[in-house]
């Protein structure tokens, strides 16, 4: 249950943090240029692209970790493979 909770927290907070970081970086870039223009939020470019990339990263890492623990536990090995090990 603990690992499921940690996975869900990572699934929520890592992409959210990446999206907010992208939004903040975009705001800082626009304000540092001193163009005098008003800041216009482009959610697709500034928030959602970093959000989706971080979400994909969390999913890929969690799948790789689950496959690694599944292989180490020996679940799913056939009798034929077990005979070769002996």
Alpha-carbon distance of 17 to 48, in angstroms, equals: 11
Q: And the tokens for 75?
A: 């679940």
Number of domains in the chain: 1
| pLDDT at res. 84 | 55
- For the entire predicted model, the pTM comes to 0.72
- The answer to whether position 82 is within a domain reads no
Alpha-carbon distance of 16 to 85, in angstroms, equals: 46
- The answer to whether position 85 is within a domain reads no
Q: Is the pLDDT of residue 64 over 70?
A: yes
Answer with the residue of higher pLDDT: 34 or 22: 22
Domain that holds residue 13: 2-73
- The answer to whether position 79 is within a domain reads no
pLDDT per residue over 29-44, tens digit each? 888 887 777 778 889 9
Q: Token match 């005979």: residue?
A: 83
Alpha-carbon distance of 54 to 17, in angstroms, equals: 9
Alpha-carbon distance of 12 to 5, in angstroms, equals: 11
Answer with the residue of higher pLDDT: 3 or 51: 51
With cut-offs at 50, 70 and 90, classify the pLDDT of residue 74: low
């Amino acid at each position: 249950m603990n690992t499921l909770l940690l996975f869900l927290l990572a699934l929520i907070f890592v992409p959210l943090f990446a999206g907010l970081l992208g939004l903040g970086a975009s705001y800082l870039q626009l304000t540092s240029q001193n163009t005098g223009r008003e800041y216009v939020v482009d959610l697709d470019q500034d928030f959602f692209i970093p959000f989706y990339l971080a979400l994909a990263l969390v999913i890929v890492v969690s799948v790789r970790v689950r496959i690694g623990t599944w292989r180490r536990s020996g679940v799913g090995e056939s009798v034929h493979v077990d005979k070769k090990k002996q």
